[in-house]
Structure 1
């Protein structure tokens, strides 16, 4: 491998999905195949590879989709090389995830990609969100929401997705989900827990919640935790204790979300909270 090439690989313990971000110059890899689905996009440069007896060139923002067993190689035709992000998704996880996300998903629903390359900004964005969430080890509900969004985009064109979603349970779903999050918001709850409590699949759950509150369930849970964090910090609690009490992985995890929302670190807020409007 070229000395200027690099690989950053991680694996999500919950889903088993591997996340890979890599940069290559010149020759990247010889022909090979994987027993998982490969879903990714080119971040920078031109990524050239052979698959399905065709030569492909993937440019920034282009999505590439490979099914298990498809042989492919890779190289960089330009001097600058290329950078890409990739998710390795196992079939057994996919079967279970689709069944939980969509009640009307056939039991034998397998993904089949008509094209190796796709110029789909929504799908590229969904891949990027899922990559960041899994690679950074986000909370369970955030990871599930990102993966659900990815599966929603990947299956958007499948015929069974076009069936109507009339469901008399939906008006109460959002309220039950919100009440459950208020009662268990400091625990590592997931969208599957909310789906079980409300009696609908995760797709209907998320749609009903967004319609009722203008936020997805995972975004609502994060905002609820941050509101609790503000109260605790204002009362003088230490950021590390607040993070532990509210279910964040650690103080830095709390800090990332806190700065996104308020442009302040938890420690800064604790010092200056008396001068900030609540």
Structure 2
């Protein structure tokens, strides 16, 4: 049975940490995060897929994932697997690189490599995680520990070439991922906006973003719902405001992409939030078209 624990603190909104002690039963669908993330495999091994690259990773390995990059990491045939995952706000991280003199601009640049095997950095990551999870450590000390870790890590990371995405396709992705993520848009309307046929749009979108336009929208909606849960919103409100027809649909998609339920995500750290009241459970929105 998998066990996930999250740490986050409203005083430090730019960082979140997840620990999975037994991931043998986890199953992630392809997804992406808004944040830059780094994982540390602490036990066992797994398959890590990032866009079109496949890595076999084992204990002692660090994986790095740029924002909005499709990825999936799952256990190998039920073998033991445990990991830590650090999520950092991309704008905040870009500012830290600029502060350290590692970038000429405070704007975000994708980082490389995908996988690191560096014992010094791995051990520092474990030390950082222990400090973040320490309930007796003040937020200021945790922030200093994070900055110390980044001072060690960031000089080892280079910049990666930005993906070459056709302008109309990128504009469509921006449209779908922005304020319109919660609104319904047919494949035909997406195709007209991109100036290509529906079949061509699906192929090109999957080539550049690692998922179909529909899957991309669902991923964005889950991201919006996740952000709402971090802000203390009721699950039903996070679901409906993110564009899901109802709370059960949100819960299914959330678990499919993040391998835990919205309630588990919200309960696992920070001040305890109340779940939706019985009356909220029945709140409904019009069922979206199939």
TM-score normalised per structure 1: 0.50
Q: 1:21 Cα shift?
A: 0.3
Tell me how far apart the structure 2 counterparts of residues 35 and 126 of structure 1 sit (CA, whole Å): 24
Q: 1:6 Cα shift?
A: 1.6
Tell me how far apart the structure 1 counterparts of residues 111 and 54 of structure 2 sit (CA, whole Å): 17
Of the three residues 95, 100, 103, the one matched with 1:102 is 100
Tell me how far apart the structure 1 counterparts of residues 117 and 102 of structure 2 sit (CA, whole Å): 28
Contact 2:36 2:88 (C-alpha < 8 Å) held by counterparts: yes
Q: 1:114 Cα shift?
A: 2.4
Deviations 1:154-176 (A, max 9, x none): 221468xxxxxxxxxxxxxxxxx
Q: 1:95 to 1:81 in 2, by over 3 A?
A: same
Tell me how far apart the structure 2 counterparts of residues 32 and 52 of structure 1 sit (CA, whole Å): 10
Q: 1:81 to 1:140 in 2, by over 3 A?
A: same
Q: 1:64 Cα shift?
A: 0.5
Residue in 2 that maps onto 1:5: 2
Residue in 2 that maps onto 1:48: 47
Contact 2:16 2:87 (C-alpha < 8 Å) held by counterparts: yes
Q: 1:75 Cα shift?
A: 1.6
Aligned residues: 156
Residue in 2 that maps onto 1:82: 81
Q: Does 1:93 align with 2:77?
A: no
Contact 1:27 1:74 (C-alpha < 8 Å) held by counterparts: no
Q: 1:27 to 1:10 in 2, by over 3 A?
A: closer
Q: Which runs of 4+ in 1 moved over 4 A?
A: none
What CA RMSD, in Å, does the superposition of the two structures yield over aligned residues? 2.5
Contact 2:45 2:57 (C-alpha < 8 Å) held by counterparts: yes
Tell me how far apart the structure 2 counterparts of residues 64 and 42 of structure 1 sit (CA, whole Å): 8
Deviations 1:54-104 (A, max 9, x none): 2212111100000001111122114333100011101132244445x5367
User: SS where residue 25 of structure 1 aligns?
Assistant: coil
User: SS where residue 122 of structure 2 aligns?
Assistant: helix
Residue in 2 that maps onto 1:255: none
Deviations 1:118-175 (A, max 9, x none): 101122122222222222242234213321222112221468xxxxxxxxxxxxxxxx
- Larger CA deviation: 85-94 vs 126-135: 126-135
TM-score normalised per structure 2: 0.48
Tell me how far apart the structure 2 counterparts of residues 72 and 158 of structure 1 sit (CA, whole Å): 19
Instruction: Please list every run of 5 or more consecutive structure 1 residues that lacks an aligned counterpart in the other structure.
Output: 160-278
Q: 1:113 to 1:93 in 2, by over 3 A?
A: closer
Tell me how far apart the structure 2 counterparts of residues 154 and 62 of structure 1 sit (CA, whole Å): 14
